Amino acid sequence: MSFYEILDKMFSDFEEYKDIQKGKGVRGELITTISPKSVKLAAVVEAVHLASLLHDDVIDEAELRRGAESINAKYGDFTAVMLGDIIYSRAFYELTSFGEKIAKIISNAVYQLSQGELEDVKLSKEMNLDKEKYMSMIYKKTASLIQASCEAAAEAENLDTRKFALYGKNIGLAFQIIDDLLDVTQDEKTLGKPSMLDFKEGKMTLPYIYLYESLNEEEKKKLKSMFKKDLNNDQKNWIKNKMFKFGIIDRCYNEAKELVDEAKNTIKEYNFSKLQLIADKIINRKF
């Protein structure tokens, strides 16, 4: 059985679950690549991730998720929160069967990703211009669970957990940087959610931090006046054109690529060609 089949079996009793679209399954794929026997662990981690997205969509008031109506939009916030709680608590019940070490690795990551989400909410209140704060937030919000997935799978196979954790951390950081870049460069149809939504939600992601640094005083004022507003196409194009003009798109992409290269380097002594491929796929994607 694949980890998706296990996941579906766990939650098929809940009718709203059937409206949830499949994601990319990066975390599950990483776990089963490092440890083919750990299919159930992969399902558990994908369940935790899914629960976090259900809650995140309530917090972000998102209408769309994975190209379809989000659960909060379709059934309301209460249902989305409770379905998230159901999925999360069942995942933790299953997690206890993997032994203390693995349970601690995963549960600590959930603690971190919850902190990361809180930091994301707090940072969105004002125009954050601090790259370090952004990096620390995306590490917790996104990289921590990807790191934990690789570390736990390595633990299950008695491999060097530190190396696999570092691989996971770096591809996790790259994953979020690319996500934040695609929010700017891709259209709604490709993304499965509105484009340039981050800025409207108050999220000063890496391309916006670099953009602000590059603008002159007058342009800085203009960018500030657009922050957290509904942008028309002219305004969106102004932002995009400035980002291209200052080479910010390439700069962010190259930073993500460096992290991916470092990740690949960390595990090069192992014969895991698929892990090299997954790392490349993380930066070379359109959504």
Question: Counting contacts by CB under 5 A, is residue 29 touching Mg ion?
Answer: no
| Residue 6 binds which of ligand FPP, Mg ion, none (CB < 5-8 A, kind-dependent) | none
Across 19-112, where does the E strand assignment appear?
A: 64-65, 68-69
Distance from C-alpha of 143 to C-alpha of 170, rounded to nearest angstrom:
7
Residue 282 lies near ligand FPP (rule: CB under 6 A): no
Residue 56 interacts with Mg ion (CB under 5 A)? yes
Strand partners, 64: 69
What SS3 class is residue 64? strand
> Which of 195, 190, 183, 202 minimizes the C-alpha distance to 249?
183
Q: Which of 9, 8, 3 is nearest to 38 (CA)?
A: 3
88 binds, among ligand FPP, Mg ion, none (CB under 5 to 8 A by kind): ligand FPP
- Determine if 60 is a binding residue for ligand FPP (CB under 6 A): yes
Out of 7, 41, 70, 117, which residue is the one contacting ligand FPP (CB under 6 A)?
Answer: 117
By a kind-dependent CB cut-off of 5 to 8 A, residue 110 interacts, out of Mg ion, ligand FPP, none, with ligand FPP
Residue 51 makes contact with ligand FPP by CB under 6 A: yes
Q: Does 95 bind ligand FPP (CB under 6 A)?
A: no
CB of 161 to Mg ion, least distance (A): 30
Cα–Cα distance for residue pair 61/120, rounded to 1 Å: 14
Least distance from C-beta 266 to ligand FPP, angstroms? Answer: 23
Residue 69 phi, psi (nearest 5)? -60, 135
Handedness of CA 269, 145, 34, 282 (dihedral sign): negative
Q: How far apart are the first and last CA of the chain?
A: 27
Question: 35, 52, 149, 170: which one contacts ligand FPP (CB under 6 A)?
Answer: 52
Is-contact 51 13, C-beta < 8 A?
A: no
Q: Does 38 bind ligand FPP (CB under 6 A)?
A: no
Nearest to 139 by CA among 102, 95, 100, 171: 171
By beta-carbon proximity to ligand FPP, the closer residue of 55 and 159 is 55
| Choices 60-68, 91-99, 216-224, 276-284; region in contact with Mg ion by CB under 5 A | 60-68
If binding means CB under 6 A, how many residues of this protein chain bind ligand FPP?
14
Binding mask 135-174 for ligand FPP (x = CB under 6 A): ------xx--------------------------------
Q: In the Cβ-directed half-sphere of 191, how many Cα atoms lie within 13 Å?
A: 19
Q: Which of 3, 52, 54, 60 binds Mg ion (CB under 5 A)?
A: 60
- The binder of 275, among ligand FPP, Mg ion, none, by C-beta within 5 to 8 A per type, is none
Instruction: Give the contacts of 7 (CB within 8 A, at least 6 positions apart).
Output: 43, 46, 47, 50
**What residue ranges bind ligand FPP (CB under 6 A)?**
51-52, 55-56, 60, 62, 84, 88, 110, 113-114, 117, 141-142
**What residue ranges bind Mg ion (CB under 5 A)?**
56, 60
